Amino acid sequence: MVSVETFIGEYPICQYAVCKAREIPFSEKVRHICRTECERYGKSWSCPPAVGEVNECRKRCLEYENALVFTTAAQVSDASVLAETLATRPEHEAVTRALCRELEKQGAECLALSSESCQICETCAYPQPCRFPGKAIPCIESYGILVTQIAERYGIEFYSDIHTVTWFGLIFFREEKRL
């Protein structure tokens, strides 16, 4: 049986919770915000519309039974400066991938999501094929997931101070591999 507790303490995780995938809240309202307020909309494989409709994303997530919600933190001079904030995403992604590897070592299959859009390439190849499909991690909000609601529900701090970026990660996992 998969046990997150056996490895989570080895990583720089601020807070975490394990829940059932069906408890994760999805909403079309999040997609509306992507469409009307985010400059990454239509520019990345990790964002809409490339990730599919919200109901498709939800269905994809619910193929996994469990979800690991977690945060990491990075220190910056000003968290309101997007470029400075985004520069710290690779470290969070590295932790996310490492957690997936730990889960996979225990026999699980994973689907990882992360805060913000994928930053692996300086300019995303979209709509040309993704250059690193095995490495790119879609944005949590791009799936229509209400991150603030998850944070409230599990008592996870969303904001610390102006010098701290809090990164959210969400890994759906199932214990039995499907053929």
Residues that bind ligand SF4 (CB under 6 A): 44-46, 118, 120-121, 124-126, 130-132, 136
For the record, the structure tokens of 141 come out as 């909000």
Query: Which amino acid appears at position 32 of this protein?
Result: H
Nearer to ligand SF4, 66 or 96 (CB): 96
- Can the peptide bond before residue 49 be classed as cis, meaning omega within 30 degrees of 0? yes
Nearest distance from C-beta of residue 7 to ligand SF4, angstroms: 26
Nearest distance from C-beta of residue 44 to ligand SF4, angstroms: 5
Nearer to ligand SF4, 87 or 121 (CB): 121
**13: burial class by Cβ within 10 Å (0-12, 13-18, 19+)?**
middle
Please name the residues in contact with 60: beta carbons below 8 A apart, sequence gap of 6 or more. Answer: 52, 111, 143
Nearest distance from C-beta of residue 51 to ligand SF4, angstroms: 10
Nearer to ligand SF4, 74 or 124 (CB): 124
